[in-house]
């Protein structure tokens, strides 16, 4: 039996179409709805808010740059998945008030206390506003404070323009500056891949603050980054948009087991590099490079790993959190990535989002924020 009983999507960007889809979902007999919409839609926020608050079913989801369904990319429109069970949803909001590590810990532990430490709930999806100030602080703290290990997968919601807007859906409306934890009724299996390889010697992160790398090898980070790329490739940064080149050369932090955590440099400012995730000071980072083939191959391997390990007793739901910058990097060939997953996914619904940052467990069990990666999750 399939874990979900209703799937509906539209490529129309009008609210009226979405409304009819939502009505169908409500009448489908489902208990919970996962609602995903594209950031390019013309949905008036107030009306969307009213629809969600009036929805009699448990509702959760978010706004993402793009969505995926089976092997297809949905650039505008919406996707609604109806589930048989009522999912437990926990919303964390108002992070702008949480300014210190202690207050964050207090904030999380008080919610955990309310939720009885999510006793009996080991599997979660996480939807969050990608522009939240300290998502890594949150996941680190959640991992530290939870009294049991969890399986988790998720991705950052929002727009590619990096302007913070309301982007997280619940029955109480649309939220910004929010994190949504959705407890799943079944075991979540995940597989993570990125396919990026190192292409030059490592650099010492001599100065960094959160997501900003100020210097590498005690020299301005931006200069080191540009020079290294210009020396090794045909690219020149003059007169070119920074991200147009940077999307080909992310940074990577290697752990003891040679696992690389990718960090996407999205902005150059004041000779510093602004990444989409923290870069630890005094760590060694690499410049990475990739080809569509290696990225897709990594995804294929991850998909094979995941689906070959699933039991055949149920038809699982598979949700993919694929980084938007992979799509921007692969451009027209991006659907290859979706297709290799679809080819391995023989049963159940396969859908996903193109996200701004991905979240998954590392092999050790810790929760990690990833960039330029893909998280395939099945339950």
Partner 1 sequence: MNKALFLISLQHELAMAIGNKLDLKAMLKIFLKVCFNRLDLTSAHIYVYCDQSGMPCKSLPLKGSSYQHFLSIPKNKNGLPWSKNTRLANFARQLNNSKKSISFQCDNGQYLCGFIIPEYGLLTFETHYELANEVQKALQPILQKLATSCYTSIVHDSLVKEINSRQLIEEKVAFQAQHDGLTGLFNRQHINFLLGNALEDARTNEKAGSVVFIDLNRFKPINDAMGHTVGDKILLTLAQRLNSLNTEHMDIGRFGGDQFIILLKNLREDYQETIDQLIAQVNQLLTTPFIINTNSYKLTCSIGYALFPLQSSTVNNLIKFADIAMYEAKRAKTQRGKQYQRVMSDKIKKRLAYVDDMKQGLERGDFQLYYQTQYNHYGDIIGAEALLRWQHPVHGKESPGLYIPIAEESDLILSIGQWVLEQACRDIKKLEQLSLPESFNKIAINISAKQLIQHDFKESILKAIKQNDIPAKRLALELTENLLVENIEDSIKLIASLKENAIDCAIDDFGTGYSSLTYLKRIPASVLKIDRSFVTNIAQSSESAAIASMIISLGKTLNMDILAEGVETQEELNCLKELGCFHYQGFYFSGPLPFNEFAQLFK
135, 369 contact by CB (below 8 A): yes
Signed CA dihedral, 112, 113, 117, 123: sign only: negative
CB of 279 to partner 1, least distance (A): 11
- 3-state DSSP assignment of residue 293: helix
Cβ proximity to partner 1, 255 vs 293, nearer residue: 255
Cβ proximity to partner 1, 69 vs 152, nearer residue: 152
Task: Please name the residue ranges forming H helices in 310-379.
Answer: 324-330, 334-344
Rounded-to-5 percentages of helix, strand, coil across the chain: 30, 35, 35
Whole-angstrom Cα distance, residue 40 to residue 168?
A: 15
Angle ∠(222,225,227) on CA atoms, nearest 5 = 105
Angle ∠(319,323,326) on CA atoms, nearest 5 = 125
CB of 138 to partner 1, least distance (A): 14
CB of 285 to partner 1, least distance (A): 10
CB of 243 to partner 1, least distance (A): 27
Which one-letter DSSP state was computed for residue 133? T
CB of 286 to partner 1, least distance (A): 8
Cβ proximity to partner 1, 5 vs 145, nearer residue: 145
Cβ proximity to partner 1, 137 vs 155, nearer residue: 137
Q: What is the DSSP string of 143-186?
A: HHH-SS--EEEEEEES-TT------EEETTEEESS-EEEEE-SS
Task: Please name the residue ranges forming H helices in 236-318.
Answer: 242-246, 292-309
CB of 250 to partner 1, least distance (A): 17
- 3-state DSSP assignment of residue 99: coil
- Binding residues vs partner 1 (CB under 8 A): 117, 119, 140, 143-148, 201-202, 204, 254-257, 259, 280-284, 286, 362-366
Cβ proximity to partner 1, 205 vs 296, nearer residue: 205
Cβ proximity to partner 1, 205 vs 226, nearer residue: 205
Whole-angstrom Cα distance, residue 145 to residue 98?
A: 16
Tokens for 279? Answer: 């870069």
Length of the chain: 379
Cβ proximity to partner 1, 138 vs 286, nearer residue: 286
Tokens for 295? Answer: 């990225």
Cβ proximity to partner 1, 29 vs 149, nearer residue: 149
Which one-letter DSSP state was computed for residue 315? B
CB of 287 to partner 1, least distance (A): 12
Cβ proximity to partner 1, 33 vs 150, nearer residue: 150
65, 160 contact by CB (below 8 A): yes
CB of 219 to partner 1, least distance (A): 17
CB of 183 to partner 1, least distance (A): 17
């Amino acid at each position: 039996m399939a874990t979900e009983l209703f799937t509906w999507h539209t490529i129309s960007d009008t609210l009226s179409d979405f409304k009819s889809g939502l009505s169908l979902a409500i009448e489908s007999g489902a208990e919970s709805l996962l609602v995903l919409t594209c950031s390019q839609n013309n949905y008036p926020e107030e009306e969307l808010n009213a629809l969600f608050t009036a929805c009699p079913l448990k509702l959760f989801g978010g706004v993402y740059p793009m969505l995926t369904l089976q092997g297809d990319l949905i650039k505008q429109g919406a996707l609604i998945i109806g589930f048989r069970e009522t999912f437990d949803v926990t919303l964390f909001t108002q992070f702008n008030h949480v300014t210190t590590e202690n207050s964050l810990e207090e904030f999380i532990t008080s919610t955990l206390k309310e939720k009885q430490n999510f006793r009996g709930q080991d599997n979660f999806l996480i939807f969050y506003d990608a522009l939240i100030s300290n998502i890594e602080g949150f996941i680190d703290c959640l991992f530290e404070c939870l009294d049991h290990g969890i399986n988790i997968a998720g991705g950052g919601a929002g727009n590619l323009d990096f302007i913070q807007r309301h982007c997280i859906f619940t029955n109480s409306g649309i939220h910004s500056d929010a994190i949504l934890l959705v407890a799943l009724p079944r075991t979540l299996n995940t597989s993570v891949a990125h396919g990026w390889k190192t292409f030059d010697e490592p650099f010492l992160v001599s100065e960094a603050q959160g997501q900003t790398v100020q210097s590498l090898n005690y020299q301005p980070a931006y200069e080191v980054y540009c020079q290294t790329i210009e020396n090794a490739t045909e690219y020149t940064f003059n007169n070119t948009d920074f991200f147009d080149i940077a999307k080909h050369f992310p940074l990577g932090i290697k752990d003891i087991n040679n696992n690389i955590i990718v960090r996407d440099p999205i902005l150059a400012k004041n000779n510093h590099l602004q990444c989409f995730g923290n870069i630890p000071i005094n760590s060694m980072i690499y410049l990475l490079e990739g080809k569509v083939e290696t990225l897709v191959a990594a995804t294929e391997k991850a998909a094979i790993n995941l689906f070959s390990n699933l039991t055949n007793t149920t038809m699982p739901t598979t949700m993919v959190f694929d980084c938007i910058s992979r799509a921007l990097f692969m451009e027209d060939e991006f659907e290859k990535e979706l297709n290799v997953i679809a080819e391995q996914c023989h049963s159940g619904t396969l859908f996903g989002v193109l996200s701004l940052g991905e979240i998954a467990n590392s092999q050790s069990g810790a929760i990690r924020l990833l960039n330029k990666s893909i998280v395939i999750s099945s339950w």
